[in-house]
Amino acid sequence: MVYCSIGHVHFPYLANRFSHTNIKGIKMKQKKQKKARTKTYWKKKADNLWSEIIRERVCRCEVCGRPGQFTKQGKQIKGLNAHHLILRGNLLWRHDLRNGVCLCVYCHKWSPVCCPHGGSIDSTIGFVDFMKDNKPEQWAWYEHHKDIRKTPELTMEETYNYLKELQNTGEVLPYSERVNKD
């Protein structure tokens, strides 16, 4: 037991949940301070939403065809990864839906035949060949945009809200096409 400055008894394991005891002996909950929504917060939210949209778009690995697993919410996205064609460090294309491919965990990280993050040059070449043969429009978009680096005109919060709007409407027009004209 711990005594506070006004003589009330506090238990250490409740110290985080209760600030003090009121007159009737009922413990009062502390008010949680609302954290400021930072750029990092909105970037993480936008990243998660972008990944969810990419995985929900086909609900299977685009290389091997392995389906995702259903989650408790009924979304078929577990066991799948969203892969960025253009690195995430390029913020202009980071949340562009054309920059994403849905892959199972195995094809994304370990496949010796067709893996963008493969340990061998052959697996990386296999992924490039797969994209050229099976997704030529998306690969052409990648080839055209991979070296373009500009500062995005949308904030991370605006990006998240736009992705949420796309998810709700089912529209797949990427935000960069709406904002940045090539």
* Close Cβ partners of 89 (under 8 Å, ≥ 6 residues apart): none
Whole-number pLDDT of residue 177 = 46
* Exposure of 97 in the CB half-sphere (CA atoms within 13 A): 23
Phi, psi of 162 (to 5 degrees): -65, -45
Reported confidence tier of residue 182, pLDDT bands at 50, 70, 90:
very low
Do residues 81 and 161 touch, judged by C-beta distance below 8 A? no
Helices (H), 104-169: 105-109, 121-134, 136-145, 156-169
Residue 18 vs residue 63, higher pLDDT: 63
Q: In percent, how much of the chain has pLDDT > 90?
A: 40
The domain ranges of the chain are: 1-34, 39-179
> How far, in Å, CA of 182 to CA of 180, rounded?
6
Digit-coded pLDDT (tens) for 146-180:
988 888 888 899 999 989 988 888 765 444 444 44
